Amino acid sequence: MSAVAAAPTQAALAHALDEAQRSATPTEQLPATEQIGLDAAYAVQHAIIARRQSRGERIAGVKLGFTSLAKARQMGVDDIIIGTITDAMRAPDGGRFDRSACIHPRIEPEVAYLLGADLDGEDPSDERALAAAIAGVAPALEIIDSRYRDFRFTYGDVVADNTSAAAYVVGPWRPVQSVSNRAVRLSAGTTVVTGSTAAILGDPVRALHALLDMCRRRNIPLRAGQVVLAGAATAAVPLTPGVTSCDVAGIGAVSVRGVR
């Protein structure tokens, strides 16, 4: 008999990641010999969301990750990922966010889209269907908090961990307009990071096409009223006590105050 421990089941991994999030205590990455495939990793993510739904949370939308080179390089990952956001993860614009709910929270500037129509199995190259389904855009902040020790993970690890999603803040919605090539400024105390929405796949609208493609392949429904986070335009910074704000030129600003 082999002395090697059996690979954890998807349910066991979902349990470990969910408990790590609830207790704000890091968990171990899967050992290299026990890496799970991408389908299994998404199954774990969806099992975590099912656990959250059983506690009364509702799906509020989706988020894309690693749509910018800055993020992909920062985390050593080289392909887009999709995660799920729930109503319990939403923090109010200008409100407080309790850092002690997290393990090692980071924050990053994003652009959010509001879906005005259901998008099921849509052709990702259908510009008109996409344009007709977008009801608004807004500046956004995402708080990410890997449940893995030292914020380190493989591609499969981070997909299983619901793409490190912890919380998000959406600024005032504006009618749809192009958000290509807008200056992005993230300020957190004395830390200021600048970038451009062009960092998000060249134009955040491309993130929407990538999203449709992913959702079609993975059978993920997109519903009117849901929020889509297009992915960070710059590398993430630690979420420190005090106000962090994100300005997207011509679109608006959004902020959150880290407390504790």
**Interacting residues with Mg ion between 219 and 238 (CB under 5 A):** 232
Q: Does 142 bind ligand OOG (CB under 6 A)?
A: yes
Q: Which of the 8 DSSP states describes residue 229?
A: E
Q: Does 146 bind ligand OOG (CB under 6 A)?
A: yes
Q: Does 255 bind ligand OOG (CB under 6 A)?
A: no
Displacement of CA 204 from its chain's centroid (Å): 14
* Piece of the chain touching Mg ion by CB under 5 A; list 44-52, 81-89, 135-143, 190-198: 135-143
Q: Which of the 8 DSSP states describes residue 4?
A: S
- Residue of 42, 66, 113, 168 interacting with ligand OOG (CB under 6 A): 66
Nearest Cα to Cα of residue 37 among 133, 170, 157: 157
- Residue of 18, 122, 142, 145 interacting with Mg ion (CB under 5 A): 142
Write down how long the chain is.
260
Q: Does 71 bind ligand OOG (CB under 6 A)?
A: yes
**Are residues 139 and 227 in contact, defined by beta-carbon separation less than 8 angstroms?**
no
Q: Does 210 bind Mg ion (CB under 5 A)?
A: no
Distance CA 99, CA 37 (A): 32
Which CB sits closer to ligand OOG, 146 or 226?
A: 146
**Are residues 149 and 31 in contact, defined by beta-carbon separation less than 8 angstroms?**
no
Coil, strand, or helix at residue 178? coil
Q: Does 75 bind ligand OOG (CB under 6 A)?
A: yes
Binding site for ligand OOG (CB under 6 A): 63, 65-66, 71, 75, 108, 142, 144, 146, 158, 163-164, 231-232
